[in-house]
Amino acid sequence: MFGKSRDIVHDDESQAHNALLGNGYQKEESEELYVDAVDTEIDEAVRSERLSRLSYGSSFSALHPSNSAYLTTFLLLNTMIGSGILNQPYVFAESGILGGLLGFFITTIATWTGLLCLTEAGVHENILEYSGLAKKAFPAFGELMVDIAIIVLTFGSQLGYILVVGTLSSDLLRSWGCSSVACGDMFTTIISVAVFVTPVCMYRHFGHLAILSLFSIAAIVAVLLLVFIAGPIKHSVDHKSSNYKLFDLNGMLTSVGSIVFSMECCSANFQAFVSTERKSRNMNTWRSVTGVAVFAGAIMCASMGLVGYLSFGSDTEGEILDNFTQHGYDVFKLMVVIHLILYIPVNFVIMRYSIVKVFFQTRSELLPSATHSIITIGLLAATVGIVLLLLGLGLESGAAFSLLLNITGGIGGSLEMLIIPAAIYLQVMPKDAKFYKYAMVLLVFGFAVMIAVTAVTIISFL
């Protein structure tokens, strides 16, 4: 690959992914980087950095500014809708019908406002990259704030994904007749991570393959259709009670973090913006793009939650697939397991990158092989250990899944989606800016969510 011929790499590709990881590169004009494998005069450290940037950027699909506004809307929606949607029926079971709808309405408005504040501030400062913009607004700690938010979100996501993979795999094996201890939740969790997840996580780079995105959407849509169609049928056949909870303030505070988690797409905001065709890269169009994406995502999640809760009432599980126990539904569970096994390494690479950046002050792909392996295995062991601890404490898998999403969304999601965008806007924009007052409200709301989720979670364990 690096022969005598000169390879040309455009930095906009690397910057697009750097925006997702929050690694502090500011948006700059695309430059051509030439790497000559036989040029011995190049300093070795500089050469290693250049080679790393080449392989790092080229391992991800480049997002060139040519997507239509319609396609960008779909891409943002795809970023938002993930496995968090599986917990939304439980959100309604905790919050009540009105509480769940109110939670989604407020969070939707807040999410949309956060995206608009972030984008307008970026355009104003001519820095279309999240952590770079945060560093511009708060030179001493802005970039670190973004990295911490990413670490909390991705680490919490890892815990939730591994939990679902282990417990769903165990459910499938047991339903197929396995009664051995090897088919228990803990053992299947360990085996799933050791055999299927760890080898892929050892790669320093992990490309976002189009087929992965398509399978992800297919799996989520399949589960949506399952709940919409089979849920009401099971409600009728199983004679479920129609005595529903209308509003529960404590339950709403307990589950609002899960709503925030399910609608997270802030990390992809600038990546989507710079990949859009030039005529659509303006605030008026972006207001429509983000508005449609956010509200469509909210409708999908809220509909899933409402229909799931109306179907199973007080028996609604923290992970909705646990309510479908017959063999005919196994294919849907298997799709979710495969989807998560494929996605966990992608999420893990992002988490590892930010952790290495914060604690080692370097880029993860530049680490020596031994250090890289130790960190990778150590992080995976830590996540598996926490999952096993939650299961060992006697928490049902659905309840543990809900707890993880709520804490992750309430702390990491609030920080990344609400608090940091609002703080950046208030710092860099003039006081007469269009969203200045909204940003003040958003900042207060973000801290309120973080404090409420943390307090309620601590109280629940006392």
Amino acid at 275: S
Q: What is the pLDDT of residue 462?
A: 66
Summarize the chain as % helix, strand, coil (round to 5): 75, 0, 20
Q: Per the structure, how many domains does the chain have?
A: 1
Question: Judging by beta carbons within 10 Å of its beta carbon (0-12, 13-18, 19+), is residue 313 exposed, middle or buried?
Answer: middle
> Which residues, given as ranges, of the chain have pLDDT below 50?
1-65, 206-210
Examine residue 222 and state whether it is found in any structural domain, yes or no: yes
Kindly state the tokens that stand for 384: 């598996």
pTM of the model: 0.80
> Is residue 43 a part of any domain in this protein?
no
Q: Are 174 and 196 in contact (CB under 8 A)?
A: no
Has residue 58 been placed in a domain?
Answer: no
End-to-end CA distance of the chain: 58
* Residue at 251 is within a domain: yes
Give the model's pLDDT for residue 212: 59
Domain that holds residue 131: 66-461
Q: Residue 239 is which amino acid?
A: H
Q: What is the pLDDT of residue 205?
A: 61
Separation of alpha carbons 94 and 344, rounded Å:
28
Indicate whether 107 belongs to any domain.
yes
Query: CA dist 92 to 234, 236, 297, Å?
Result: 18, 20, 16
Q: What is the DSSP letter of 362?
A: S
230 within some domain = yes
Q: For the segment 359-407, what is each residue's pLDDT rounded down to a tens digit?
A: 988 888 788 999 999 999 999 999 999 999 988 888 777 888 888 999 9
Contacts 24+ apart (CB under 8 A), 286-289: 286/116, 286/119, 287/116, 288/69, 289/69, 289/72, 289/73, 289/76
pLDDT at 101: 97
Position 459 scores a pLDDT of 83
Strand partners, 34: 8
Domain contains 236: yes
**CATH assignment at residue 360:** 1.20.1740.10
Q: Is residue 44 part of a domain?
A: no
Helical segments of 238-282, H only: 249-262, 269-274
Question: Phi and psi for 34 in degrees, rounded to 5?
Answer: -100, 135
